[in-house]
Every structure is written in C-alpha cells, then in structure tokens.
Amino acid sequence: MAVIKSKKGEITFIFDAKPDAKQVYVAGDFNHWNPTDKKMTKAKDGSFRTKLSLSPGQHQYKFVADGTWIEDPSSKQKVYDPFGGVNSVVEV
C-alpha cells in the first residue's frame, strides 16, 4: 500500500490487495468517510489505484476492501479515530 504525491495536489492511492479482493475504495475526510464514493481500479499487478485532487493540508483516510476498513500500513502519519482504530494521514 502506498500514497504517491504530485506537485499539483494530486494524490495516487495504491492498495496492494489480497488476490481475492473484488472491490476496493478509499474513504476519508475528503469524501465525508463515504465507503463507496471513491472506487479504486484494479491494475495489472493486482493492486488497486486511484488518483484524487485534494485541498492543501492533512487528510485522514482508510481503504475499504470488500467492506473491511483497513489503515494504510505504509503511512508514516497516523491518528486515532473515535472508534478505537487508527486512520492514516496524507499531507498535501
């Protein structure tokens, strides 16, 4: 899993899914944590990817793979969520 930043505020989210993942989304404060709003596309290597333009600042997010919320283990910044879990953080 990874987040790739560009100079124009575009962020590419990459989720290395288990081989049997059917659908993966990215959800965060940028889409009001909607678990089915930002669908990711499966790449030839089996990972799921999507590119988003985000406003400057910090954004919390998680991946949603087949309905399961998963933090990004490659994220260096994390914060606790109000449910006892952890959100990943990306800075634009």
Choose between 8 and 38: higher pLDDT: 38
DSSP 39: B
Residue 44 lies in a domain: yes
* CA quadruple 66, 70, 76, 82: dihedral sign: positive
Residue 88 lies in a domain: no
Residue 86 lies in a domain: no
Q: Is the pLDDT of residue 80 over 80?
A: yes
Q: Is the pLDDT of residue 19 over 70?
A: no
- The identity of residue 4, as a single letter, is I
Domain holding 27, by residue range, is: 2-81
CATH of the domain at 73: 2.60.40.10
pLDDT of 30-72, one tens digit each? 999 999 999 999 998 889 999 999 999 999 999 999 999 999 9
Structurally, how many domains does the chain consist of?
Answer: 1
Mean pLDDT of the chain: 90
Contacts of 53 (CB under 8 A, 6+ apart): 8, 9, 10, 11
